[in-house]
Amino acid sequence: MAKSAANDRQYLEQWRGKWRVSMSVPKALHGRLGTRLKHPLNTDSLAIANQLKWPIVNEMKATIAQAQGSGTDLRAVAEEFRRQRERAQTDEEADEVETAISVTKDMLLGKRVGVDVDPRTGEESERFAPENEKAIAEFSKIIAGRATPLDSLHKQYMGQLTVKPRTRSDDLRAIALLQRWCAEKGVDAYLQSFPTRRSAVAFADDLQAMEPGLSPVTLNKYLRRLSRYWQWLEKREEVPSDVWKGVVLPVPEQAHDEKERPFTEEEMKKLLGGDAPQELHDLMRIAALTGCRLDPIVCLRVRDCENGAFLFKPQKKEKAARLCPIHSSLTEIIERRTKDKAPDDPIFPEWPAPQKSTSNRERSFKTSNDFTAYRRKVGVADERDGRRRSLVNFHSFRRWFITEAERADQPESLIAAVVGHKRGGMTLGLYSAGPKLEQARRVVEAVKLPR
């Protein structure tokens, strides 16, 4: 049983020289349970009170959970009972836990609703409300370690992730989809309900019917996130193996003319010559003359634009921040956007970071929406039936830069280094420390905006 420190007064209060357990009741339940639940411990020793309180605390939590009609709190109580069972070191401690479990089960069952008589033996058995008996069955399985809810460890898993906010959102959507599938198929939403790859395949087979508006590429992201969660669980011996490994949906091959592409020269002229706010004009030019993705540009600070080079934060599989020379055509923009600002000030204050610290959105979320609206306004689009987004989008600036650098006879390995792509071959990919800034500057300056 989990023991508290000798001076721990959590859930404890003194009454007439003795300690008792005391727990506040949610305001909505005051009419049914009063303002507080209390239970005497009949001891004046704080150390002993701390040893005795936990089974009673769990009973009180179960009482409140039942009054609220909440299964989530009951699951937490059952998990705590399971941990107390595992930690019990003496027969006395084990007996206390088992007594508390028995009392909690009796309380969950409630009053009997009838009596069943065995027609052969004539023996009578009490009958309780079906929903209460179901709750008891789940409660018992969790305590016995045979029913670990799918999301009971997911919060801990999410707390250890070091991924982008967008990927964290994918994790949350993936586990929510799996729980929804379990509810629709009548499958218990436990880790133990997925013992083999067959159960994972059954979920994958139904994914497209569940989410007809999502592409196989997007759905495969969710399957990969479930696989990462199961890998984390496997390391902690919560599951025997990663049942999601290799479970993927087939992705239809795209016709050559349906792949996302760079902007054409005419599209670039429309974008760069249109009636856009100054921040969008500055943003588009930086993207076109660096080949950088959207979010690192929007996140640039004054100190990231010093000594003639941008310092872009790592993206995708990049392991470190990346230097990129500032094109001579961008000098005026950078001087204007950094003038009289502190080193940590953003150069694009027009698009601030999300106000909520819990938001999973990238800083560039609103920027992307603003650019898309402007792009459509000036008539730059390439929509195809069955595709979620246009074949030209902000990423097309990156494709345009790479195309123009290649047409200017710049070496492929240097272009890859400038835009942050992995360089091919063992010599360049493994042993080279990368090009010097002067070499990278030649690549950048070789690219010219359309007149």
What is the three-state SS of the chain? CCCCCCCCCCCEEEECCEEEEEEECCHHHHHHHCCEEEEECCCCCHHHHHHHHHHHHHHHHHHHHHHHCCHHHHHHHHHHHHHHHHHCCCHHHHHHHHHHHHHHHHHHHCCCCEEEECCCCCCEEEECCHHHHHHHHHHHHHHCCCCCECCCCHHHHHHCCCCCHHHHHHHHHHHHHHHHHHHHHCCCCEHHHCCCHHHHHHHHHHHHHHCCCCCHHHHHHHHHHHHHHHHHHHHCCCCCCCCCCCCCCCCCCCCHHHCCCCCCHHHHHHHHHCCCCHHHHHHHHHHHCCCCCHHHHHCCEHHHHCCCEEEECCCCCCCCCEEEECCHHHHHHHHHHHCCCCCCCECCCCCCCCCCCCCCCCCCHHHHHHHHHHHHHCCCCCCCCCCCCCCCCCHHHHHHHHHHHHHCCCCHHHHHHHHCCCCCCHHHHHHCCCCCHHHHHHHHHCCCCCC
pLDDT at 197 (0 to 100)? 93
For residues 176 and 289, state if they share a domain.
Answer: no
| Mean pLDDT, rounded, for 280-288 | 97
d(CA 93, CA 108): 23
Comparing CA positions, the residue from 156, 160, 166, 199 lying closest to residue 181 is: 199
Beta bridge partners of 124: 117
Does residue 242 sit within a domain? no
Which two three-digit tokens encode residue 121? 């033996």
pLDDT at 336: 97
Answer yes or no: is 246 within a domain.
Answer: no
Please state the domain count of the chain. 3
**Which structural domain, as residue segments, surrounds residue 135?**
5-144
Q: 144, 173, 195: which is the final residue of a domain?
A: 144
Are 425 and 323 in a shared domain? Answer: yes
Which one of 84, 113, 144 terminates a domain? Answer: 144
Please answer whether residues 233 and 240 qualify as being in contact, where contact means their C-beta atoms are separated by less than 8 angstroms: no
pLDDT for 8 beyond 50: yes
Q: Which residues contact 38 (CB under 8 A, 6 or more apart)?
A: 15, 20, 21, 22, 23
pLDDT tens for 180-214 read 999 999 998 889 899 999 999 999 999 999 999 88
Q: Tens of pLDDT along 52-70? A: 888 788 778 777 776 766 5
Q: List pLDDT tens digits, range 137-186.
A: 878 887 777 778 888 889 899 999 888 888 889 999 999 999 999 999 99
**342-350 average pLDDT score:** 96
Is 93 in the same domain as 190? Answer: no
Give pLDDT tens digits for 255-275.
556 789 999 999 999 999 999
Name the average pLDDT for the chain: 86
- Is residue 429 assigned to a domain? yes
Q: What mean pLDDT comes out for the span 238-255?
A: 87
Is residue 424 over pLDDT 60?
no
Instruction: Give mean pLDDT, residues 281-301.
Output: 96
Whether residue 389 lies inside any domain: the answer is: yes
427 band by pLDDT with thresholds 50, 70 and 90:
very low
Do 285 and 371 fall within a single domain? yes
pLDDT at 2 exceeding the cut of 70: no
Mean pLDDT to the nearest integer, 40-48 = 90
Q: Please choose, from the candidates 210, 301, 296, 266, the residue with its C-alpha nearest in 3D space to the C-alpha of residue 382.
A: 266
Structure tokens at 400: 């345009």
Model pTM score = 0.58
Q: Are residues 207 and 278 in the same domain?
A: no
User: From CA 235, how far away is CA 177, in angstroms rounded?
Assistant: 23
Do 203 and 299 lie in a common domain?
no
266 occurs within a structural domain: yes
Residue 69 phi, psi (nearest 5): 70, 30
Q: What is the mean pLDDT of residues 124-145?
A: 80
Region for 308 from its dihedrals, namely left if φ exceeds 0, alpha if ψ lies in -120 to 50, beta otherwise: left
Whether the pLDDT of residue 124 is over 90: the answer is: no
Asked whether residue 184 is domain-assigned, the answer is: yes
Q: Tokens 């919560």 map to which residue?
A: 238
Residue 252 pLDDT greater than 80, yes or no: no
User: Within a domain: residue 129?
Assistant: yes
User: Do 72 and 120 share a domain, yes or no?
Assistant: yes
Are 161 and 194 found together in one domain? yes
Q: Percentage of residues in the chain with pLDDT exceeding 90?
A: 48
pLDDT number for residue 5? 52
With beta carbons less than 8 A apart as the criterion, state whether 229 and 171 touch.
Answer: yes
Q: Amino acid identity of 343?
A: P
State the pLDDT confidence band at 431, using cuts at 50, 70 and 90. Answer: very low
* Residue 217 and residue 352 share a domain: no
Indicate if 361 and 289 belong to the same structural domain.
Answer: yes
> Residue 394's domain is classified under what CATH number?
1.10.443.10
206 and 162 together in one domain: yes
Q: Are residues 157 and 130 in the same domain?
A: no
Does the pLDDT of residue 348 top 80, yes or no? Answer: yes
Does the pLDDT value for residue 17 go beyond 80? yes
pLDDT of 294 reads 95
Which tens digit of pLDDT belongs to each residue from 215-236?
898 999 999 999 999 999 999 8
Beta-bridge partners for 190: 149
Q: How confident is the model at residue 1, as a pLDDT?
A: 40
Query: Structure tokens of 219?
Result: 């759905």
On whether residue 451 sits in a domain, the answer given is no
User: What pLDDT does 383 receive?
Assistant: 86
Residue ending a domain, choose from 111, 127, 144: 144
> Residue 327 — φ and ψ, nearest 5°?
-60, 145
